[in-house]
Amino acid sequence: MAQASGMASLEFRLPDLGEGLTEAEIVRWLVRVGDVVAVDQPVVEVETAKAMVEVPCPYGGVVTARFGEEGTELPVGSPLLTVAVGADASDGAPAVNGSDGAPAANGSGAASGSGSGNVLVGYGTTAPAARRRRVRAGARGAGEAQPVAPQAPAVPAAAAPSAVPVAPAGAPAPTGRGGGPVPVISPLVRRLARENGLDLRQLSGSGPDGLILRGDVEQALRAPAAGGTTAAVRPGPAAPATASAAAAAAPAPSPSAASAVRVPLKGVRGAVADKLSRSRREIPDATCWVDADATELMAARAAMNSVGNGPKVSVLALLARVCTAALARFPELNSTVDTEAREIVRLSEVHLGFAAQTERGLVVPVVRDAHTRSVESLGEELVRLTDAAREGRLTPAQLTGGTFTLNNYGVFGVDGSTPIINHPEAAMLGVGRIVPKPWVHEGQLAVRQVVQLSLTFDHRVCDGGTAGGFLRYVADCVEHPALLLRTL
């Protein structure tokens, strides 16, 4: 069908989301073909290796095509959607994205059918825009721009995936789980179902408004083994008779090969694998450790929490404050190595990363300017970032730029570890569980709260004397928290 007179179609491609990310997975479309979108309105939710991102479209108009189904991975620069805009807004304007996937600036304008002119960096356009209510084409007034018939532009097959066929706006919404949208928010749930061949449309979610949770998928996966019929597994295509005869004559696979499970190294898991492998390849690391009596530290925490009605001070916040004090005395460990220049770069600011385990995997949020914060401020920021990590709301900027990492693996009930340095940092402090143990205190055998501390460091930035001095100072602060008063 020909496009309406006076309208032009512009293609919006997946922008560079920053921090070297090259691809993203479509989690949820926020618009349909035929919808009217405003400038900088979020149109799709994608998952990168580091965060969940709502991508805004820098052009306003009518959506004429979408590219990629939910669950599809797209490289940066691939088409996301096309938008029909007024001819006056597009005359002489460059494409929304260049051939390399980087967005191109355009003339500004706030009306529908115009572009924001903002370059998409990190999370999208730089202009903050409130989430706008999605307007259906059939619900517009007579004074608004008329919609065009949904039509995908001519896109070379080698340059873009096939457009997803979607019913235009105004068509009746599909009824029943079989044809409607699947109520799933978590990409982990989608991936778990996809890797096990489970059809989410056959499940009834136990969450609010029928939301399908991870437990629903796990229960459905257990049901077939127990003889249940909760979930339906998508059957493969029927094989022809000749193929069946050939399969019968072929040797059966070994039990180990038949039962093996292959897990793709992508998303967060893939990013972690790449970073840890690079750390092991490039950094000549060494580890030293020491046991410390944390009884006085725990007593100090209890005393601080007994005063006032403010937020409780956590052990992690106290240890973060100890780290910043130790780095002030041993700045060699707050550095990085420039391999090309063959230089050690000592950093003046401490951006403290801390390891956090989430459903999406291990992430390391970063507390900016930790060296300027009090124990209370550190605690508040740790709580805020931890909540954001568990909810999948961390931005790429909150997951990068750390200069030193604190890893509290004691929450897993273990005493010690030899952590891998978070490249390109130069050191990581590991903290085991704090448990009652026999300890010689003031010449007498007593039961004390003992913790094992371990430091993994880049041997290029310092020798064992510096690393040992840092770790010994940390242990002294744990055993005698009053030492921290000297750094205030």
Q: What is the pLDDT of residues 353-398, one digit of tens each?
A: 998 888 777 889 999 999 999 999 999 999 999 999 888 888 888 9
Pairing of strands 435-441, 79-86: unpaired
- 459 catalytic? Reply is yes
Rounded distance between C-alpha atoms, residue 427 and residue 420, angstroms: 9
Q: Which of 351, 371, 423, 459 is catalytic?
A: 459
Q: Which of 41, 65, 67, 75 is nearest to 55 (CA)?
A: 41
The pLDDT-based confidence of 481 (bands split at 50, 70, 90) is very high
pLDDT band at 256; cut points 50, 70, 90 = low
pLDDT at 416 over 80: yes
Whole-number pLDDT of residue 76 = 85
23, 76 Cβ separation under 8 angstroms: yes
Check whether 268 has a pLDDT greater than 60.
yes
Q: What is the mean pLDDT of the chain?
A: 76
* Triad 103, 107, 111: Cα angle to 5°: 105
Q: What value does the mean pLDDT take over residues 91-112? A: 40
Summarize the confidence of residues 179-207 as an average pLDDT: 73
pLDDT of res. 95: 41
- With cut-offs at 50, 70 and 90, classify the pLDDT of residue 98: very low
Between these two residues, 10 and 101, which has the higher pLDDT value?
A: 10
H or E segment and range at residue 388: helix 375-390
Q: Strand, helix or coil at 210?
A: helix
Weakest mean pLDDT among 196-200, 352-356, 455-459:
196-200
Q: Which residues contact 432 (CB under 8 A, 6 or more apart)?
A: 409, 410, 414, 415, 416, 417, 451, 452, 453, 454
Residue 206, beta-bridge partner list: none
Helices 464-479 + 315-329 axis angle, to 10: 140
132-171 per-position pLDDT tens digit: 444 444 444 433 333 434 443 443 333 334 344 443 433 3
Average pLDDT over residues 47-59: 79
Q: Which tokens belong to 346? A: 């000592």
The pLDDT confidence band at residue 30, using thresholds 50, 70 and 90, is very high
CA dist 227 and 204 (Å) reads 18
More confident residue, 352 or 410: 352
Residue 363 backbone phi and psi in degrees, to 5: -130, 160
Under the banding of pLDDT at 50, 70 and 90, the label for residue 114 is low
Strands 356-358 and 285-293, by their bridges, are unpaired
236-251 confidence digits (pLDDT tens): 444 444 444 444 445 5
Cis bond before residue 156 (omega within 30° of 0): no
pLDDT tens digits for range 167-189? 343 333 333 444 456 666 566 67
Query: Average pLDDT, stretch 114-139?
Result: 43
Rounded distance between C-alpha atoms, residue 334 and residue 328, angstroms:
9
pLDDT of residue 218: 81
Residue 94 has pLDDT above 50, yes or no: no
Q: Who has greater pLDDT, 402 or 220?
A: 402
> For position 184, what pLDDT does the model report?
64
pLDDT value of position 394: 86
Closest CA to 313 of 302, 323, 322, 324: 302
The confidence score (pLDDT) of residue 215 equals 80
| pLDDT at site 39 | 87
Residue 185: predicted pLDDT: 58
Burial-class residue 265 by CB neighbours within 10 Å (0-12, 13-18, 19+). exposed
Q: Indicate the residue type of 467.
A: A
Average pLDDT over residues 188-192: 75
302 has pLDDT over 60: yes
- Nearest-5° angle of CA 121, CA 123, CA 126? 60
Which of 68-82, 90-104, 209-223 shows the highest mean pLDDT? 68-82
> Across residues 219-226, what is the average pLDDT?
71
